[in-house]
Chains A and B, each alone.
Chain A
Amino acid sequence: MPRKTPPPPGVDGIPFAHAAEREFARLLTFYGVHWQYEPTTFPLDWDDQGRVIEAFTPDFYLPDQDLYIELTTKEQRLMTAKHRKIRKAQTLHPDLKIRLLTRKDCLALARKFGWRKSTTDNPRT
């Protein structure tokens, strides 16, 4: 008899910043993948007083994979700052595993899983 495992969380009540993030969370839940939304902020830079002046908060953490996922629907030309933050975070935290899902990746997910077109078009929900 298959053993029961606790289900992953639902998406209700979570203030996702973007419709694509909500759809991605639904997708993970559908396939039984445990996830957390923005659970960790990584400081990237500090001022002379030691106050954090730059930080990076990946969108998702998948605890079973020990993997952070950053998801964006921005055009490639607007991605420089995002790439820089991820590189900096990985330099400061060498064990950090981050997967960046670009607009192209989101469009591929939308095509494969039948997301509504607005999911990848809307700038903000």
Chain B
Amino acid sequence: MSLYDDLEAILLDADAIQAEVRRLGERISKDFADRHPHLIGVLKGSSVFLSDLIRTLTVPVTVDYIWISPYETPTPSGVVRIRKDLDDPIEGRDVIVVEGIIDTGLTLSYLLRNFRTRNPASLKVCAFVNKRAQRIIDLSVDYVGREIPDKFVVGYGLDYRQRYRNLPVLGVLKPSALD
């Protein structure tokens, strides 16, 4: 059985994905032409996208990752716990937060509040896909690959219950694959 069997549609095939990533990379390289942006990948959804994105950038970059506890894994305090914090300080640096998908905005709004307290020189957001229909917290996203409809998407690093991240396409999961 193929992972593709669980998809009802493919929103972006591998070529279309790479075209979007190249477009984003060109924009970021242009905007940061005389700077050294520090990219922070939000684990785990951004991992594939970030790996591709940095190879399209023509400016020197540094990379770090952050991983926060998901809501479905309760913490004793009932609030977010950082499972893997940044390795390096971001004070005075030009930071770009890289997300695979932004939907409710809850995770990203938490991270932006957290990062602002660390006094970066600038703070931008880059998302491979943006699902505005599910937004709860209004956010400004500086670089967006694709706006997508209100469907459950997987692949290219995005998961459902930790599966489908390895699909090289961005696809809509069949309702029958969601329980």
Residues of A within 8 A of B71 (CB): 27, 30-31, 113-114
Instruction: Quote the shortest CB–CB distance from A92 to chain B (angstroms).
Output: 23
Interface size range on A against B:
20 to 34
Given contacts A69-B136, A105-B134, whether A27 and B106 have CB atoms under 8 Å apart is yes
Given contacts A108-B150, A114-B72, whether A32 and B118 have CB atoms under 8 Å apart is no
The segment out of B1-9, B18-26, B35-43, B108-116 that lies at the interface is B108-116
Q: Is the interface of B mostly helix, strand, loop or mixed?
A: loop
Instruction: Please tell me if the beta carbons of B104 and A29 are within 8 angstroms of each other in the complex.
Output: no
Instruction: Please tell me if the beta carbons of A67 and B138 are within 8 angstroms of each other in the complex.
Output: yes
Q: B136-171 vs A: 1/0 string, CB under 8 Å?
A: 111000000000001010000000000000000000
CB closest residue in chain B, given A117: B179
Instruction: Quote the shortest CB–CB distance from B84 to chain A (angstroms).
Output: 16
Q: Is the interface of A mostly helix, strand, loop or mixed?
A: mixed
Instruction: Please tell me if the beta carbons of A112 and B137 are within 8 angstroms of each other in the complex.
Output: no
Given contacts A32-B79, A65-B137, whether A3 and B117 have CB atoms under 8 Å apart is yes
Instruction: Please tell me if the beta carbons of B103 and A31 are within 8 angstroms of each other in the complex.
Output: no
Instruction: Quote the shortest CB–CB distance from B71 to chain A (angstroms).
Output: 5
Instruction: Please tell me if the beta carbons of A112 and B78 are within 8 angstroms of each other in the complex.
Output: no
